[in-house]
Structure 1
Amino acid sequence: MLTSKQRAYLKGRANGLDTIVQIGKNGVEPAVTKQVADALASRELIKGRVLENSPYTPREAAAELAEYTKSEVVQVIGTKFVLFKQKKKDSAYTL
């Protein structure tokens, strides 16, 4: 569980990130979950977007992906969300 200070730090770091995951009309399917898990393993902090034709709201999609990947939802704003999963070793983020 992230504290408010940790969440604020990660929000600042995520501000300059590009969106690398998009949730579309098929929703959160296994292929998307694997893509998110792989991205979190290599990057730790990722930004995603929920398209208008998705059956999920951004908050629902972020929560479901966080549950499947055992990560934390940093923020959900508009159609975008940010997920974080810290590496056990050699993390780029000091919390």
Structure 2
Amino acid sequence: MQVGSLLGQKVAINEFVAFMSLGQMKAAHLLSPNSVFISTFALASFSNFSSIGISMGAFSALAPGRQSDLAAMGFKALFAAILAGFMTATVAGFWHSILG
């Protein structure tokens, strides 16, 4: 439940705020070491609303006539970025459990 709030902070605000909260939770011993390890990888990506907005702004400047196409892909790109971060955390957790 606590890791879910970190992921929500990451997507809604940004990863820096989520990492600060992770540090506070770690210091208060609210998370297991394995949760801290996997959460670190899950939080380490730019999959949040502001990053998607910045990317869409940059691509709109490069292709001004395709702004509607870019806007249609914004949430799909965010979803793909979130899944990519989760896949990284999954692989890290897998190797951590084997080599741990």
Is the TM value for this pair above 0.5?
A: no
The structure with the largest strand share of the pair is 1
Query: For the pair shown, which has the larger CA radius of gyration, 1 or 2?
Result: 2
The structure with the largest helix share of the pair is 2
Q: TM-score, normalised by structure 2?
A: 0.31
Q: TM-score, normalised by structure 1?
A: 0.32
